[in-house]
Structure 1
Amino acid sequence: MNQLAVKNFGHPDESMDLSGHGKKDTVMIDGMPVELSEFRKGWRWSNDVKPIAGTDSCQAHHLGYCIEGHLVVHMNDGTDKDINAGDAFEIPAGHDAEVVGDDNVVLVDFGKAFDNR
């Protein structure tokens, strides 16, 4: 990065609806994506994103911060981990995830930028 850059999620470079159970907005900073995702009650990756991704599990690497809500991540190896508001997280490729409870989950994901370092 050679210069100061600021982007606002109110004007994302890309926006994706996640089967009515959520959305993902992306801003690009110096060619790297930063994603703000909101998942609603009932959202599960295998139900809402798998048909879009075309893979059995999420193959993205995530590095981020949970702003609100409660998410459980199910790794392909059988490991489960809770992510709650205030948690920073790293999730390797090969997982499913779902919202737990009635509250929306809001996450900021720097994973793809992390992969490009």
Structure 2
Amino acid sequence: MPAITRKNFDSADEVRPFEDGKGKLDLVNTDRGPVGRAVFEPGWQWTKHVKPIAGTDSCQASHACYVVGGRLKIVMDDGTEDEVGPGDYFAVEPGHDAWVVGDEPCVLIDWVGFGDYAVPAGSTS
């Protein structure tokens, strides 16, 4: 394994667009696993813009994220909820919905749950 690995999200290994042009996932593959940068545009909501791609009732990915900018509301299937914003780290288990709060894009870095995120149902990444 090389002593230093460098990747840039602006030249990602894979780009996965969300429905209706409401954002995208830039994915870089590393020796330690995939890392993703998601840009969720204002008006983005998982149930509207990723559910049609994933084919599940709620997001079934675990996430460990750092919020670069913008705000995101997260609601678990059991009703537990939180809102995250710039500088926050958050972890969330499968079984949730989320949406952008406000009028600026929410940008996240996730090093746990984006490997199979927004992959069409029945496909493999």
Same-fold call, TM > 0.5? yes
Runs (4+) of structure 1 moved beyond 4 Å?
A: none
Q: In structure 2, what is the Cα distance between the partners aligned to 1:31 and 1:67? A: 22
Listed one character per residue, the Cα deviations across residues 67-105 of structure 1 (whole Å, up to 9, x for unaligned) are 000100010110111011110010111100000110110
Where structure 2 has 5 or more consecutive residues not aligned to the other structure, the ranges are 115-125
Listed one character per residue, the Cα deviations across residues 41-70 of structure 1 (whole Å, up to 9, x for unaligned) are 100000000000000000000001000001
| Secondary structure in structure 2 of the residue aligned to 1:46 | helix
Where structure 1 has 5 or more consecutive residues not aligned to the other structure, the ranges are none
How far off is 1:10 after superposition? 1.4
Query: What is the number of equivalent residue pairs in this alignment?
Result: 112
Structure 1 partner of 2:123: none
TM-score (normalised: structure 1): 0.92
How does 1:62-77 map onto structure 2 within 5 Å? 62-77=63-78
Q: In structure 2, what is the Cα distance between the partners aligned to 1:15 and 1:112? A: 15
How far off is 1:31 after superposition? 5.4
| Secondary structure in structure 2 of the residue aligned to 1:10 | helix
Aligned-residue sequence identity (percent) comes to 46
TM-score (normalised: structure 2): 0.86
CA RMSD of superposed structures (Å): 1.2
Structure 1 partner of 2:55: 54
Structure 1 partner of 2:121: none
